[in-house]
Amino acid sequence: MNPQRPQLVHDLNQIRDIVRKAQSAGKKVGLVPTMGALHQGHLSLVEQSASQCDLTVVTIFVNPTQFAQDEDLAKYPRTLESDLELLSQFSPVIVLAPEAADVYPAGSSTAVQPPDVGRLWEGEKRPDHFAGVATIVLKLFNMVPAEIAFFGQKDYQQACVIQQMVKDLNVPMEIQVCPIVREPDGLAMSSRNRYLSQSERKTATVISQTLEIAEQMMREGETETQVILDQCMQELTAAHVDSIDYVTIADPITLELVQTIAGPVVILIAVYVGKTRLIDNRVIQL
């Protein structure tokens, strides 16, 4: 047992008391909401929080309401022991790992209807996903009333949904979105990467390579997004990804489709490699 391991809290009243007490003592509290299965992407959020806050609360909760029936809730990796081990390098960190029955007691039925920015892309492919995300995130913000919450840019549209929700519902929380952390070959870190077979893992590198190609085309002056997207589709297909949910070039704020590039854009990709769904994105400011 590592003595530096973070304190592990399961009780929702206890965590709020801890946070309130720290704040009463003048401490700034940071929140890093996760579903566990921590990787360097998560750890970069914790590091960011630790650098700005006096106390960081990492929540670990695999939220059932953001998974559809046919998705990977059951097999989603649960690795609490190694998560705690990984968090030992940061201090002071408290881990909140609540029970599902405490988070969603019987009769619980209120939900957040996510903002319009959640309508397209992920919103179309995973119809109830952002309602599940927005609801759990708002609940976590109320459970852990920190000053700042840290999210990864990897889930770009999720970050947009959360930022807009916070604004729309007057939630007293600052949202910081931190850069994507990548493997040496460019694959964006994700808890789902561990589902990939060796050959799938190799195929998956095409995603970030496609983002790179799209950016290059823009830098070389291509402004018609359809031309760029055709090339992206061709790259992904040639690399034998198993299916393409979407590849798009959108306004980085509204996430509406852009036809002709005349300002900043975000390229969003969602594909299946084998049975694993992977997403990635890149913001381009020419």
Nearer to its own copies, 62 or 84 (CB): 62
Q: Which amino acid is at 121?
A: W
Residue in 8, 80, 97, 171 binding its own copies, rule: CB under 8 A: 171
Let me know: does 187 contact 279? Beta carbons within 8 Å.
Answer: no
Please list every residue from 236 through 255 that binds its own copies, using CB under 8 A.
none
The site for its own copies, by CB under 8 A, has a size of: 30
Rounded least distance, CB 245 to its own copies, Å:
24
Give, for 175, the enclosing helix (H) or strand (E): strand 174-178
Distance CA 132, CA 220 (A): 40
Determine the interface stretch with its own copies among 71-79, 134-142, 232-240, 278-286 (rule: CB under 8 A): 134-142
Helices 156-168 and 129-143: crossing angle in degrees, nearest 10, is 60
Residue in 35, 45, 60, 131 binding its own copies, rule: CB under 8 A: 131
Copy the structure tokens of residue 105: 């007691």
Rounded least distance, CB 197 to its own copies, Å:
39
Distance CA 155, CA 268 (A): 10
Beta carbons within 8 Å of 194's beta carbon, 6+ residues apart: 37, 77
| Active-site annotation, residues | 42
Residue in 116, 124, 174, 230 binding its own copies, rule: CB under 8 A: 116
Please list every residue from 199 through 228 that binds its own copies, using CB under 8 A.
none
**Residue 12 found at the interface with its own copies (CB under 8 A):** yes
Nearer to its own copies, 80 or 103 (CB): 103
Question: What are the phi and psi torsion angles at 68 (to 5°)?
Answer: -80, 165
Nearer to its own copies, 122 or 280 (CB): 122
Give, for 170, the enclosing helix (H) or strand (E): none
Distance CA 133, CA 195 (A): 22
Determine the interface stretch with its own copies among 44-52, 133-141, 146-154, 274-282 (rule: CB under 8 A): 133-141
**Residue 114 found at the interface with its own copies (CB under 8 A):** yes
DSSP 14: H
Parallel, antiparallel, or unpaired: how do β-strands 265-273 and 276-284 relate?
antiparallel
Please list every residue from 62 through 101 that binds its own copies, using CB under 8 A.
none
Distance CA 174, CA 48 (A): 14
Rounded least distance, CB 50 to its own copies, Å:
25
Site of interaction with its own copies (CB under 8 A)? 12, 16, 105, 107-117, 131, 134-135, 138-139, 142-143, 145, 164-165, 167-172
